[in-house]
């Protein structure tokens, strides 16, 4: 029988060795050391399961980390050993081979949750800026043919559950139960293993794009330009004109390039929080509802339509967002390229000072997205211009769209109600069967025996 012997985690310890490795793999020689709930890869863990199920990937596969290390030195920064400053990522996540090679050699499946690499960007807007002279090539940050040099870091979430609960002013047990129930009971260990403090949630992570020398970000006299951007695939990639996402992102990149060219560092943090973390399905439902409502798509009713459908106007909850800035060792942002009050307050509230807030220049705002931008300014977004009055909001009207079938609303409502009933019944059944289960599912000795027999290991 294989015992359970999790390697202790001392979150906030001074060194990686004292902190301990985050272990979540169910690999046969690793299983008993597991100290975290969930799986690697964020939402992609499901694809890994598919690959195993379909016979395309051996569940015994172990990564070969030859030559995968970061090309630049990141940290350690003092923030890494402050257990309150970082609770949603593993600050040592890119230094696995360096710190835990002894475990890797014993065939323990420790994996990185952060990876750092170098890249060149080529974007139409930057070519345009070079042509019109607003960006000047320097052959360091930008070449004459428009290649922009960056260093980028991909970060997967690692949550210290009690720390996350604290950020949201709730208790760890309430958070664990909500995570367990509202994922359809996907992670029983959330409620059966309070000794496991870490959770690798099945959500999108983030990417940091760094313009300039990444090794001076944490130096107090380095001037920093920062934009924190939440994914909007429709605008960022496909150029939809209903919002200001891509224009603001490009403007941020241009400002980052300029900061790097003057000896500072520019940073874009790109979060996978599509549609204010409500997802694209909800987002498109809101678009339709906005365009079809009586009086048209106005700034005055912008947030109301989202609340009607999603129940909240925003689920990005910026409470955990500053963690990545602390990971980078940032203590001051000189130019913050964002109008969001939620982002500003979260960053300043976490102890990083912001010297200047930079709003999006008018000439970069698409006409149809005036609805969004005016609604946000009225709601508290930063703007160097005067706040719109209620009459301005009523008068900010976007394009409308015609309903094809007169009874489309009723049909959608009926289908949604049926769907929700289905979820409710399944959830009840699941909860009942779990509470009736004789032993915590993850500890069930029968389960372990089965596993060992299947893998032929005693
Ligand atoms: Zn957008």
Q: Has residue 77 got a pLDDT over 80?
A: yes
Q: How far is the CA of 243 from the centre of ligand 1 (A)?
A: 5
Give the pLDDT confidence score for residue 304 in this predicted structure: 87
* Mean pLDDT computed over 243-263: 96
> Is the model's pLDDT at 412 over the cut of 50?
no
* CATH number of the domain within which 233 lies: 3.40.50.10990
- Please check whether residue 180 lies inside any domain of the structure: yes
Q: What is the pLDDT of residues 443-456, one digit of tens each?
A: 443 444 444 444 44
Catalytic residue numbers? 314, 316
Q: Is residue 360 a part of any domain in this protein?
A: yes
Contacts of 355-364 spanning 24+ positions with Cβ under 8 A: 357/382, 358/255, 359/383, 359/384, 359/385, 360/244, 360/247, 360/248, 360/251, 361/251, 364/244, 364/247, 364/248, 364/250, 364/251
Expressed in angstroms and rounded, the spacing between residue 217 Cα and the centre of ligand 1 is: 29
Q: How confident is the model at residue 446, as a pLDDT?
A: 41
pLDDT at 395: 79
Residue listed under structure tokens 């664990």: 176
Number of domains forming the structure of the chain = 1
Mean pLDDT is lowest, of 75-84, 194-203, 216-225, 373-382, for 373-382
- Residue 9 located in a structural domain: no
363 vs 117, more confident: 117
**pLDDT at residue number 115:** 98
The sign of the dihedral angle between the CA atoms of 158, 160, 166, 170 is positive
Q: What is the mean pLDDT of residues 393-407?
A: 64
Please check whether residue 57 lies inside any domain of the structure.
yes
Give the distance (Å) from ligand 1 centre to CA of residue 384: 21
Alpha-carbon distance of 276 to 288, in angstroms, equals 17
At 418 the pLDDT is 53
Q: Is the residue at 201 inside a domain?
A: yes
Question: Which residue would you say has higher pLDDT here, 299 or 240?
Answer: 240
pLDDT at 402 over 90: no
> How many angstroms separate the CA atoms of 418 and 400, rounded?
29
Calculate the average pLDDT of the chain.
88
Residues 171-222: tens digit of each pLDDT: 999 999 999 999 999 999 999 999 999 999 999 999 999 999 999 999 999 9
What pLDDT is recorded for position 413?
45
Report CA(298)–ligand 1 centroid distance (Å): 17
Q: Domain range for residue 68?
A: 16-105+113-273+316-366
Edge-to-edge strands, sheet with 353-357: 114-121, 148-155, 206-211, 265-271, 224-230, 332-336, 353-357
Q: From ligand 1's centre to the CA of 230, what distance in Å?
A: 9
pTM: 0.85
Inside any domain, residue 393: no
Pairwise CA distance, residues 160 & 115, whole Å: 20
DSSP 397: B
Asked whether residue 429 is domain-assigned, the answer is no
- Residue 22 within a domain: yes
Q: How confident is the model at residue 424 (pLDDT cuts 50, 70, 90)?
A: low
**Nearest residue to 208 (alpha-carbon basis) of 341, 316, 330:** 330
Report whether pLDDT(76) > 80.
yes
């Amino acid at each position: 029988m294989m015992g359970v012997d999790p390697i202790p985690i001392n979150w906030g310890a001074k060194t990686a060795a004292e902190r301990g490795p985050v272990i979540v793999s169910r690999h046969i020689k690793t299983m008993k050391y597991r100290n975290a709930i969930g799986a690697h890869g964020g939402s992609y863990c499901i694809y890994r399961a598919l690959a195993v199920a379909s016979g395309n990937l051996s569940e015994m596969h172990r990564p070969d980390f030859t030559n995968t290390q970061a090309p630049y030195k990141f940290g350690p920064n003092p923030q890494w050993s402050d257990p309150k400053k970082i609770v949603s990522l593993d600050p040592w996540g890119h230094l696995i081979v360096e710190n835990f090679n002894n475990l890797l050699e014993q065939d323990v499946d420790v994996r990185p949750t952060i990876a750092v690499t170098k890249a060149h960007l080529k974007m139409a807007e930057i070519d345009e800026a070079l042509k019109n002279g607003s960006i000047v090539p320097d052959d360091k940050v930008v070449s004459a043919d428009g290649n922009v040099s960056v260093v980028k870091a991909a970060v997967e979430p690692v949550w210290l559950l009690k720390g996350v609960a604290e950020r949201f002013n709730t208790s760890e047990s309430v958070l664990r139960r909500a995570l367990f129930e509202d994922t359809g009971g996907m992670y029983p260990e959330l409620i059966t293993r309070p000794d496991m403090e870490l959770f690798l949630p099945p959500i999108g992570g983030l990417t940091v794009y760094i313009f300039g020398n990444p090794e001076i970000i944490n130096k107090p006299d380095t001037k920093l330009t920062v934009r924190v951007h939440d994914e909007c695939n429709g605008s960022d990639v496909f150029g939809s004109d209903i919002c200001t996402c891509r224009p603001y992102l490009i403007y941020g990149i241009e400002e980052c390039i300029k900061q790097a060219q003057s000896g500072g560092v520019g940073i874009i943090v790109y979060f996978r929080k599509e549609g204010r973390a409500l997802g694209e399905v909800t987002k498109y439902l809101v678009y339709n509802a906005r365009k079809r409502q009586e009086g048209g798509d106005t700034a005055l009713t912008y947030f109301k339509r989202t609340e009607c459908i999603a129940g909240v106007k925003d689920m990005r909850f910026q409470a955990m967002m500053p963690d990545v800035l602390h990971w980078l060792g940032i203590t001051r942002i000189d130019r913050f390229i964002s109008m969001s009050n939620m982002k500003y307050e979260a960053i300043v509230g976490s102890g990083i000072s912001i010297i200047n807030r930079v709003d999006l220049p008018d000439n970069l705002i698409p006409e149809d997205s005036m609805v969004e931008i005016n609604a946000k300014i009225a709601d508290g977004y930063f703007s160097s211009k005067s706040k719109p009055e209620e009459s301005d909001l009523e008068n900010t009207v976007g394009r409308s769209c015609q309903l094809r079938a007169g009874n489309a609303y009723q049909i959608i409502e009926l289908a949604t109600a049926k769907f929700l009933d289905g979820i409710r019944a399944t959830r009840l059944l699941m909860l009942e069967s779990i509470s009736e289960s004789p032993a915590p599912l993850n500890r069930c000795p029968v389960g372990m025996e089965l596993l060992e027999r299947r893998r032929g290991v005693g």
